[in-house]
Structure 1
Amino acid sequence: MRTFVHGSAVWEVACPQRPSRVAGVTMAGFRVRDLDALRMVPHPAVTLLLDFGAGSPVLDSAAGRQQRGSVVAGPGIGSGGAVWARGENVECVQVRLSPVIARAVLGVSPADLGGDVVALDDLWGGEAARIRERLGEVSSWQDRFALTDALLARRHEAGPPVDPEVAWAWERIVGDRGLARVEGLAAEVGWSRKRLWSRFRSQLGLAPKRAVKLVRFDHAAHRLVAGEGAARVAADAGYADQSHLHRDVVEFTGVTPATVAGEPFLAVDDIAWAEQVRRYASLSP
């Protein structure tokens, strides 16, 4: 377990020793004594938070809604700085699911989450309580990751897959770092733009253009956290100019690029999601 310190906040972070048996699943474990007003920065994945500690994470939305404990949220949740996390003595396994596999794992499409944070009990019923109990009974993080992975693999195997054309379009958007053109994607899979938009939105939870925008923002935001200048990031990430980058960052986070560069939600990725951060670095010129 490694320690992440950001200002007065101290997080203990654990990572699996081996990859998930399900492609599109990544995990990290967190133990935070005092989680105070953490802005949730949108990410191009479905987020699953499995709480098992003595405390309980609380997610507050700008609309006044509040969720406690284990939750799930669709891709891009927190846009505009609308979702904040807090809590004391929080222990949890956080899972990032590729939207391509999320429908099978969750049992519902990310589109059915309504763009909000949803209590896992509402989706999984008693199964959510059982995994929470089992995670609390084991003493090692690697055992917790193994339990979680076994659950995700079983649910994924039993759940419905998305259309191959939709999966291909998503992987192309991610692989191109949000630089793909939606019209070109539709032509390559042999679908009309309208058909791709409809299937993509209903199965993955966001429209193709929104997916392109979110993936491009995520890549740019991590480079800002790595210390790169906004002008260079804007040019390399495919923005028309620096002001375009500024607008997207404000739209997704509610703050400026300079503020995003210091966000702990992104800064901890260097420990919790190190493989992703290395990928961003390898893609930089």
Structure 2
Amino acid sequence: MDPYAGLDAFDFVQQAPSPGLAAFVDHFWVVTWTELAEPYEQRILSHPTVNLNIAPGHRRIAGVIRGGFSYTMRGSGRVLGVRFRPGGFRTFLGGPVSELTGRFAEISDMYGAAGTALCEAVLAEPSAAAAIARVEAFLLDQAPREDPLAEEAAALVALAEAEAPMVRVEQLAARSGRSTRSLQRLFRDYVGIGPKWVIRRFRLYEAAERVYEGLDLATLAAELGYTDQAHLTRDFTAAVGMTPAAYARRRS
């Protein structure tokens, strides 16, 4: 949240994966900060994706987090992350992605000594590019296999994001050619969370942008499929941590 507010506190860069990982990884990302005079807290509203994060304070794999969460930067540091495509982490997990939903798993617990060695190597590597290369090599060593169902899940998540008028699971099910129950099973298995949450989360992203632009809340609630303005306000506040009006004032 507030994506531009932290630009004086940290640098953020992304890097596309190598061709061998393109079916599984959306991008690598690196956040760095140097000699902060005061701690800086960045609030994050998660996407329907799994992330692998390596930093001095944590070495973990984050499942889909239903609410928002925060990360506090102090002094100097770096976080290296891997954002997997929706469905892309299932081959690395070997089971339903819903097993990770709402929690953080330690890399060393999931991958043993090899995971511990990876984290130590990344933390000791001064070059972000070289650190990314180490993570790429580690992921390729897991011999990930492409899965048509993972590709289908990724395509449906992209459709839910792109189609702003889409506000109900039944709409996505109709576009997918699946029943609502079949779609829900696919999402739980490969994305980690149900299609209703995914659709609603993308509409909340849109709400955050359009509230900032000054759109009337009642009009926005109707366009995004909410029963009324109060319903939108409750969902927005629960995810973002403040009301739409407070968010608009903060961003301005």
TM-score range, shorter chain: 0.7 to 0.9
Partner residue, 2:10: 11
Partner residue, 1:28: 29
Contact 2:187 2:195 survives alignment (8 Å) = yes
* Partner Cα separation in structure 1 for residue 189 and residue 61 of structure 2: 17
Query: Pairwise mapping of residues 37-76 of structure 1 onto structure 2 (< 5 A)?
Result: 37-51=41-55, 55-56=56-57, 69-75=58-64
Q: Kindly tell me: are residues 93 and 230 of structure 1, through their superposed partners in 2, closer, same or farther at Cα, counting changes over 3 Å?
A: farther
TM-score by length of 2: 0.76
Query: Pairwise mapping of residues 119-198 of structure 1 onto structure 2 (< 5 A)?
Result: 119-155=106-142, 157-158=144-145, 162=149, 165-177=152-164, 179=166, 181-198=168-185
Q: CA deviation at 1:247?
A: 2.5
* Partner Cα separation in structure 2 for residue 238 and residue 211 of structure 1: 13
Task: Confirm or deny that 1:238 pairs with 2:206.
Answer: no
Q: CA deviation at 1:159?
A: 7.0
Code of the residue aligned with 2:102 in structure 1: it is G
1:242-276, Cα deviation, whole Å (9 max, x unpaired): 54432321121231224445889xxxxxxxxxxxx
Contact 1:103 1:159 survives alignment (8 Å) = no
Aligned residues: 239
Q: Does the residue aligned with 1:10 lie in a helix, a strand or coil?
A: coil
* Partner Cα separation in structure 1 for residue 49 and residue 214 of structure 2: 26
1:65-105, Cα deviation, whole Å (9 max, x unpaired): xxxx1122222x151x4x33235343221222222212123
Code of the residue aligned with 1:212 in structure 2: it is I
Q: Does the residue aligned with 2:205 lie in a helix, a strand or coil?
A: helix
1:37-58, Cα deviation, whole Å (9 max, x unpaired): 443323232222122xxx42xx
Could you say what the CA RMSD is over the residues aligned between the two structures, in angstroms?
3.4
Structure 1 residues not aligned, in runs of 5+: 57-68, 265-285
* Partner Cα separation in structure 1 for residue 141 and residue 26 of structure 2: 13
Q: Does the residue aligned with 2:48 lie in a helix, a strand or coil?
A: coil
* Partner Cα separation in structure 1 for residue 143 and residue 206 of structure 2: 27
Code of the residue aligned with 2:31 in structure 1: it is F
Contact 2:167 2:225 survives alignment (8 Å) = no
* Partner Cα separation in structure 2 for residue 169 and residue 103 of structure 1: 16
TM-score by length of 1: 0.68
* Partner Cα separation in structure 1 for residue 136 and residue 245 of structure 2: 37
Query: Pairwise mapping of residues 73-112 of structure 1 onto structure 2 (< 5 A)?
Result: 73-75=62-64, 77=65, 79=67, 81=68, 83-86=69-72, 88=74, 89-112=76-99
Structure 2 residues not aligned, in runs of 5+: none
Partner residue, 2:239: 252
* Partner Cα separation in structure 2 for residue 153 and residue 216 of structure 1: 34
Q: Does the residue aligned with 2:89 lie in a helix, a strand or coil?
A: helix
